[in-house]
């Protein structure tokens, strides 16, 4: 029997490995996609003809509760589905005292199962990093047994009646609860039922058509770091809807809580809370911003600048790109953060007097930062990693980087003196100061926030076609550029959409009353009066 089982186990192992590696082609494109191994031990209970009670085990000697254990390996396909193997070994026992018979058995089985994370399935795939999960499994396998049926004698030893050594297809079903101890190790409880397509597991034919084996266990699981494969032979410039930083909407990771520098409601309007003001009256309409709308044409233009540049040249003179992974009001332990997300790259801490920002990498070309950002998101599961642009150590947006690259290029080209004078006149630097009207209700669209006190405001009219009046909302250290002069709320929304299409991806509706920022809900109430 051992020789046959060894051959069968080897076949099951080969088939399982082939199925898992085939699934890897799909799993490499999504996160999580880690391999894992599991091992557990517990007890087996038989349900069939030779059993004293229908539902409860009998603990009298010989006990119907016997030891068993299992091991296996698998692959995550997503945060909802995974596939795994299970190899089960153990003993069975049962007795029917009314018929004066009992049986003992040694079982060995292998299965291929599909696992479903029920919490993620029914609550959505982005439910956070909860360490607790509930899962269900179903699969197909093969169960082997070596069973002996005895006649119970009161005065002499038991008499062997039948010996059965055979195997049959089985259907394993199970439920499990898992708790993650860290990024690799977890503990789990699993209760399973193996339905065997035979009634001879207890060496007694007839009666119940299908014998069943219940297996309840506690075990440990180890998940390996993902090693995503990639082809390096050629650089492609596919558009990515999250390549650029939505300044200043940084996701903040804090030891005490997670928050946003700015938030947006269900209509896409953003309400900033950077000054610590009470926004409790906005709680019913404010939700966390997930992803700003991206101008794909602007992305394409940025990629084209690099695609046609010489090998050692960059169109972004003085500009560097890095990947931000966290920002906090209080310092974070970089070692703990790297350990939590299994980050191998070095992290850089920057403090602007208000926020501690943590990033990795320093590149002169966007595509290099893009690869690192994608690696953080898919391999390290840092969903909010994004590319940050700096020029001379100053935090800028993509729009500013594009304008700067264009102006640098123009400065290198011979131009007509009259055209050069016109360009300088249009883009004359303007000293910024707070110009919010101190009386009345103001409806506006904020298109950008900057930290410098001088800016060529004429660029918005002559380069982007914004004819609205421009005011400045100064809130240390930010100068917020706001367009006003709308007759209706709908006109402001239309301008917001145009601004986003023109590359101002963080454009949003704002309102003021008597010189102070008010919520969108209060703004609508004031406009309705």
Q: Which of 106-110, 379-383, 497-501 has the highest mean pLDDT?
A: 106-110
- What is the pLDDT confidence band of residue 99, given thresholds at 50, 70 and 90? confident
Which residues, in sequence order, are bridge partners of residue 520?
none
Given a cut of 60, is residue 293 above it in pLDDT? no
Task: Work out the average pLDDT over 391-418.
Answer: 64
- Distance, CA of 172 to chain centre: 30
Give me the pLDDT at residue 248, please. 41
> Of the candidates 331, 386, 387, 388, which has an alpha carbon nearest to the alpha carbon of residue 354?
331
Task: Work out the average pLDDT over 389-394.
Answer: 76
C-alpha distance from residue 323 to each of 281, 371, 396, 400 (Å): 34, 10, 14, 18
* Cβ-contact 173, 138 below 8 angstroms: yes
The pairing of beta strand 348-351 with beta strand 356-363: antiparallel
Task: Work out the average pLDDT over 364-389.
Answer: 81
- Cα gap 434→447, rounded to integer Å: 16
- Cα gap 170→194, rounded to integer Å: 6
Give me the pLDDT at residue 156, please. 66
Q: Which of 90-99, 151-160, 329-338, 348-357 has the lowest mean pLDDT?
A: 151-160
Give me the pLDDT at residue 451, please. 79
Crossing angle for the helix pair 520-528 and 489-501, to the nearest 10 degrees? 140
């Amino acid at each position: 029997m051992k020789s046959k089982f060894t051959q069968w186990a080897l076949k099951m192992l080969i088939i399982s490995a082939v199925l898992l590696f085939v699934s890897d082609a799909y799993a490499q494109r999504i996160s999580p996609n880690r391999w894992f191994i599991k091992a557990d031990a517990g007890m087996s209970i038989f349900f069939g003809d030779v059993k004293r009670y229908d539902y409860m085990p009998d603990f009298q000697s010989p006990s119907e509760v016997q030891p068993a254990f299992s091991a296996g390996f698998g692959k995550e396909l997503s945060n909802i589905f995974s596939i795994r193997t299970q190899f089960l070994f153990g003993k069975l026992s049962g007795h029917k005292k009314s018929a004066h018979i009992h049986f003992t058995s040694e079982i060995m089985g292998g299965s291929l199962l599909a696992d479903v994370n029920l919490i993620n399935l029914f609550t959505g795939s982005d439910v956070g990093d909860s360490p607790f999960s509930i899962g269900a499994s179903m699969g197909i396998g093969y169960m082997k047994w070596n069973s002996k049926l005895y006649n119970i004698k009161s005065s002499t030893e038991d008499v062997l009646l039948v010996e059965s050594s055979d195997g049959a297809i089985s259907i394993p079903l199970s439920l499990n609860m898992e708790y993650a101890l860290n990024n690799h190790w977890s503990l789990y409880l699993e209760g399973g039922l193996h339905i065997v397509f035979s009634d001879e597991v207890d060496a007694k034919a007839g009666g119940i058509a299908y014998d069943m084996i219940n297996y309840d266990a506690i075990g440990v699981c180890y998940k390996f770091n993902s090693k995503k494969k990639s082809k390096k032979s050629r650089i492609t410039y596919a558009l990515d809807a999250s390549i650029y930083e939505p300044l200043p909407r940084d996701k903040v990771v804090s030891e005490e809580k997670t928050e946003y520098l700015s938030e947006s409601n269900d209509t896409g309007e953003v309400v900033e809370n950077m000054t610590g003001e009470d926004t409790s009256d906005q709680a019913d309409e404010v939700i966390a911003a997930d992803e700003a709308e991206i101008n794909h044409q602007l992305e394409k233009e940025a990629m084209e600048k690099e695609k046609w540049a010489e090998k050692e040249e960059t169109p972004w003179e003085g500009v560097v790109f890095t990947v931000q992974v966290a920002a906090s009001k209080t310092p974070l332990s970089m070692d703990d953060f790297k350990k939590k997300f299994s980050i191998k790259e070095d992290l850089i801490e920057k403090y602007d007097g208000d926020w501690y920002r943590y990033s990795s990498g320093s590149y002169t070309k966007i595509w290099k930062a893009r690869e690192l950002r994608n690696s953080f998101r898919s391999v390290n599961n840092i969903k909010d990693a994004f590319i940050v642009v700096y020029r001379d150590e100053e935090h800028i947006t993509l729009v500013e980087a594009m304008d700067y690259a264009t102006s640098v290029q123009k400065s290198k080209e011979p131009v007509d003196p009259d055209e050069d004078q016109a360009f300088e006149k249009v883009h004359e630097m303007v000293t910024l100061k707070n110009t919010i009207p101190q009386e009345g209700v103001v409806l506006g669209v904020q298109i950008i926030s900057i930290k410098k006190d001088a800016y060529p405001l004429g660029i918005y009219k002559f380069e982007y076609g914004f004819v609205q009046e421009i005011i400045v909302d100064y809130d240390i250290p930010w100068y917020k550029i706001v367009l006003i002069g709308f007759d209706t709320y709908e006109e402001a929304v239309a301008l917001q959409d145009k601004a986003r299409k023109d590359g101002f991806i963080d454009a949003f509706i704002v309102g003021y009353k008597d010189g102070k920022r008010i919520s969108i809900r209060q703004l609508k109430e004031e406009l309705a009066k």
